[in-house]
Amino acid sequence: MRHALAGVVLAAIAATRGINIHAQEGSGAVRPENPGIRALIATGMKRSATFRDLNSRLDRSDVIVYVRSSRCPGRVGACLAWASAGGGVRRLLVTLDAFGRSPDELTALLAHELQHANEVAATLDITDLASFQRSFEFRGWKHGSGFETGEAIDITRTVAGELARPLRARDDDAAVRERDGFSGGRVP
């Protein structure tokens, strides 16, 4: 997992003309390209409170995130690209490189990129590729193929930890949160 963490970056791809986001279906903010990614998202929603929180926050934003399986620049495990803005909606593309990765690793990588998408959602002045890049230069650091933030690295670790816990322990945590009146959010 450590190798995957080191390789995850936010890729700001200037040439987005190859992104066909209209072919992807879905009604929520996170829209999978294919049934395999849809299943990955469903599993993340079931097994990780942090993953659910990331999705829930995006559902309440003006950001739509399309998720596809392909290679990222620099051969990193996952990346986020600016796609477009218009009609009061900002569109992003997450690319997951599934080759040789377990479903749990892919879920943690997707959570990492969804954290970046939430960073975009929280920054209303990100309206195009240039402002997308400037924002991540300011909030994080540049290396390799793109940009990175500490928050996204923390999310990756948190989700990986949640996924590694036995199902019974996750169910017990959910029952305690429900009993105590908590919903969503991150599990310590």
Distance in angstroms (rounded) separating the CA atoms of residues 99 and 159:
20
Is position 184 within any domain? no
Terminal Cα distance for the chain, rounded: 20
Residue at 85 is within a domain: yes
- CA dist 33 to 4, 39, 110, 113, 154, Å? 22, 11, 13, 15, 26
Task: Judge whether 178 lies within some domain.
Answer: no
Whether 38 shows a pLDDT value over 90: the answer reads yes
Q: What is the pLDDT of residues 68-118, one digit of tens each?
A: 999 887 778 889 999 999 999 999 999 998 888 899 999 999 999 999 999
- Given a cut of 90, whether residue 23 has pLDDT beyond it is no
Query: Regarding predicted confidence, which is higher, 167 or 69?
Result: 69
The domain in which residue 6 lies consists of: 2-13+43-164
Does 96 fall in a domain? yes
Q: DSSP character for 17? A: G
Position 106 in a domain: yes
Q: Is the pLDDT of residue 134 over 90?
A: no
User: Residue 112 falls within a domain, yes or no?
Assistant: yes
Provide the number of structural domains found in the chain.
Answer: 1
In a domain, 74, yes or no: yes
Inside any domain, residue 146:
yes
